[in-house]
């Protein structure tokens, strides 16, 4: 499994939302870290082919994803940033609807829905309306739909947005368990979402990839004259501040 982006660029008018982005993703969890407007969603929308790129290539196992078309979409799971959709549906109804959109064969759908409901611990509430769910449960429904069809590539755009710390930690644990044997890209502006689970962290700023390294490497990558913001030891937040130069707002 290899998802390879080379010089991928996306413009909105004069603005480059993503500038010549190059990186190769293999099995593992990648944290895409950056402030609002850094280009995280743009990167994910390009990989999911929700927006057209202005330049560069995106290849999965050596073939451009535009050429792969549906066969790439079939191995892709996507948890979008926006929420509040389909509130009137039940968890099961919502998943059935998305399973059909995802071209999962009808006879396989009931079993597949049960599988993803169990993965996200929602089996007991499958007949309840999404509007009655807590924020954490709603995010788990979105995670469940991303897992339909057992995707090799999982794209999670700010999965913990709007969650309280307890729910955030819970969702993070689900993601970590689901991530095995997949390529997982997780966008966030919250360092603690990915610090413990990402094998590699990509720092994005104003559409540019500033740095890509393991959390450990990032911690030791700071120049000797950089001082921690508080106390005498560095945290990953200090690294974020050094490279991205703004407050990661918790
Ligand atoms: N549909 C769009 N039209 C115009 N500009 C956009 C659009 N989507 C994103 N942008 C701009 O592209 C930049 C990157 O946005 P985005 O990828 O959403 O960042 P992030 O997800 O990191 O917050 C921002 O400056 C944003 O305003
Ligand atoms: Mg975004």
Model pLDDT for residues 90-119, shown as the tens digit of each residue: 999 999 999 999 999 999 999 999 999 999
Cα–Cα distance between 94 and 130 in angstroms, integer?
9
Whether 225 maps to a domain, the answer reads yes
Whether 45 maps to a domain, the answer reads yes
Nearest CA to ligand 1 atom 5: 12
Residue 86: band (very low, low, confident or very high) from pLDDT cuts 50, 70, 90: confident
Whether 118 maps to a domain, the answer reads yes
Helix axis angle, 109-119 relative to 165-178, nearest 10°?
A: 130
Whether 250 maps to a domain, the answer reads no
pTM, rounded to two decimals:
0.94
Residue 250: band (very low, low, confident or very high) from pLDDT cuts 50, 70, 90: very low
Q: How many domains would you assign to the chain?
A: 1
Contact 92, 126 (CB under 8 A): yes
Atom of ligand 1 nearest to the CA of 45: 17
Whether 249 maps to a domain, the answer reads no
Whether 19 maps to a domain, the answer reads yes
Contact 62, 93 (CB under 8 A): no
Q: How far is the CA of 96 from the centre of ligand 1 (A)?
A: 31
Find the Cα–Cα–Cα–Cα dihedral 179, 111, 86, 190, rounded to 10°: -10
What mean pLDDT do residues 120-139 have?
95
Residue to mutate, 39, 45, 46, 203, ligand 1, most ligand atoms under 8 Å from C-beta: 39
Return the H-helix or E-strand segment holding 99.
helix 91-101
Model confidence at 127: pLDDT above 80: yes
What mean pLDDT do residues 156-182 have?
92
Give the CATH number, domain containing residue 150: 3.40.50.300
Beta strands in 34-165 (DSSP E): 55-60, 63-64, 76-79, 153-157
Residue to mutate, 10, 35, 41, 206, ligand 1, most ligand atoms under 8 Å from C-beta: 41
How many Å from the N-terminal Cα to the C-terminal Cα in the chain? 33
Cα–Cα distance between 78 and 148 in angstroms, integer?
10
Q: What is the pLDDT of residue 247?
A: 54
Percent of the chain with pLDDT over 70: 98
Whether 161 maps to a domain, the answer reads yes
Whether 210 maps to a domain, the answer reads yes
Residue 168's domain spans which residues? 3-244
Cα–Cα distance between 191 and 193 in angstroms, integer?
5
Q: What is the pLDDT of residue 36?
A: 93
Nearest CA to ligand 1 atom 27: 37
* Order of strands, sheet of 55-60, starting from the edge strand that comes earlier in the sequence: 15-25, 3-12, 55-60, 63-64
Helix residue ranges per DSSP H, 160-226:
165-178, 191-194, 215-219
């Amino acid at each position: 499994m290899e998802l390879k982006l080379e010089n991928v660029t996306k413009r909105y008018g004069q603005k480059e939302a993503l500038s010549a982005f190059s990186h190769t993703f293999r099995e593992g969890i990648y944290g895409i870290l950056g402030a609002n407007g850094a280009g995280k969603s743009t990167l994910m929308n390009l990989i999911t082919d929700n927006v057209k790129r202005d330049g560069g290539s995106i290849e999965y196992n050596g073939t451009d994803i535009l050429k792969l078309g549906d066969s790439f979409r079939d191995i892709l799971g996507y948890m979008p940033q926006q929420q509040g959709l389909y509130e009137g549906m039940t968890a099961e109804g919502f998943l059935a609807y998305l399973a059909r959109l995802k071209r999962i064969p009808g006879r396989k759908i009931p079993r597949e829905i049960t599988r993803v409901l169990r993965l996200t611990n929602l089996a007991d509430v499958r007949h309840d309306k999404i509007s009655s769910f807590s924020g954490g449960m709603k995010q788990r429904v979105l995670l469940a739909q991303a897992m339909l069809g057992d995707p090799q590539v999982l794209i999670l755009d700010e999965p913990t947005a709007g969650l309280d710390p307890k729910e955030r930690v819970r969702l993070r644990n689900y993601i970590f368990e689901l991530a095995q044997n997949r390529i997982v890209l997780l966008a966030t502006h919250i360092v603690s979402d990915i610090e413990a689970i990402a094998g590699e962290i990509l720092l994005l700023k104003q559409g540019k990839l500033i740095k890509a390294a393991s959390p450990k490497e990032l911690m030791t990558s700071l120049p000797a004259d950089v001082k921690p913001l508080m106390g005498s030891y560095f945290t990953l937040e200090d690294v974020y501040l050094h490279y991205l130069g703004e407050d990661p707002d918790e």
